[in-house]
Structure 1
Amino acid sequence: MDVKYDLSSYVRVLKMASTPSWNEFSQIAKVAGAGIFLVGLLGFVIFAVMTFIPGGG
């Protein structure tokens, strides 16, 4: 592939990209935070279950 073609497609994508509005950003941050919280909670539950099972650690 031609390097010039690759660069022009990257530049086109960057020109189309825009900074998100505050509402958009806060919604994405809430969803990402909820996902991180749920993964942490799942890990804690697994840890707690493995701790209370006899011979689990």
Structure 2
Amino acid sequence: MDVKYDLTSYVRVLKLASTPSWNEFSQIAKIAGAGIFLVGLLGFMIFAVMSFIPGGV
């Protein structure tokens, strides 16, 4: 492949990309934070259950 062709396609994508508004950013941040919280909670619950099982942890 030609390097020049790759570079122009990357530049085209960057020109089409736009900065999200504050509302879009905050909504994405809330959803990502909720997902991280849920994964952490699930991991803690698994740890708590495994700690009651003899030889679990």
| TM bracket, shorter-chain basis | over 0.9
Structure 1 outlier segments of 4+, above 2 Å: none
Q: Which runs of 5+ in 2 are unaligned?
A: none
1:14 aligns with 2:3: no
| TM-score, normalised by the number of residues in structure 1 | 0.95
- Structure 1 CA distance for aligned equivalents of residues 23 and 17 of structure 2: 17
2:37 paired residue number: 37
2:50 paired residue number: 50
Q: Which runs of 5+ in 1 are unaligned?
A: none
Tell me: higher relative CO, structure 1 or 2? Use CA pairs within 8 A at least 6 residues apart.
2
| TM-score, normalised by the number of residues in structure 2 | 0.95
Q: For each residue in 1:1-57, what CA deviation from the matched residue of structure 2 results, as whole angstroms up to 9, or x when unmatched?
A: 010000000000000011100000000000100010010001000100000112212
